[in-house]
Structure 1
């Protein structure tokens, strides 16, 4: 199996991992703090907080889009009130 070395990265997991350098085909692999694979975001602590933050951001942006498309008169005060009422509680 052939790997694209430029796309390969090392993710050191855990607090006690000393962060060894890994090589593939004589090339040192890049270390990553956070990596996305198949739509799942994984960080060094495996906490899932990155994944949750992205999901919350997507939902907030979707709700903001609904607000923007549903009102005819788009004053700053109205949008801010609707945002604080509908989006921020989530």
Structure 2
């Protein structure tokens, strides 16, 4: 199996020492958080980084919908609202 050294990172969870790892002659970059299977994993194993990213994406999507549905006919906007 071949690995792309530019897409590989070091995420130290337990050991905070500075070590350099190489792959195919490239020094791997050390990061504080990295996505894995849709979940943002951080070096302190807390959820704050993941929750921040999910909230940003949700707010971005909501802003897109608000901007693009502003001039939509009222009958279509009623279909998109959540009943109370």
Q: Normalising to structure 1: TM-score of the pair? A: 0.60
CA distance in 2, matches of 1:17, 1:68: 45
Structure 1 residues 1-90: aligned runs within 5 Å: 1-14=1-14, 16-72=15-71
Task: Tell me the matched-pair count.
Answer: 71
Q: CA deviation at 1:40?
A: 2.0
Runs of 4+ in 1 over 6 A off after TM superposition: none
Could you tell me which runs of 5 or more consecutive residues in structure 1 were left unpaired when the two chains were aligned: 73-90
| Deviating more after overlay: 45-54 vs 32-41 | 32-41
Could you tell me which runs of 5 or more consecutive residues in structure 2 were left unpaired when the two chains were aligned: 72-84
Question: CA-to-partner distance for each residue in 1:11-64, whole Å, 9 max, x for gaps?
Answer: 1114x5213222334442221122123322122111121111111112212222
When the two chains are superposed, the root-mean-square deviation of aligned CA atoms in Å is: 2.1
Q: Normalising to structure 2: TM-score of the pair? A: 0.63
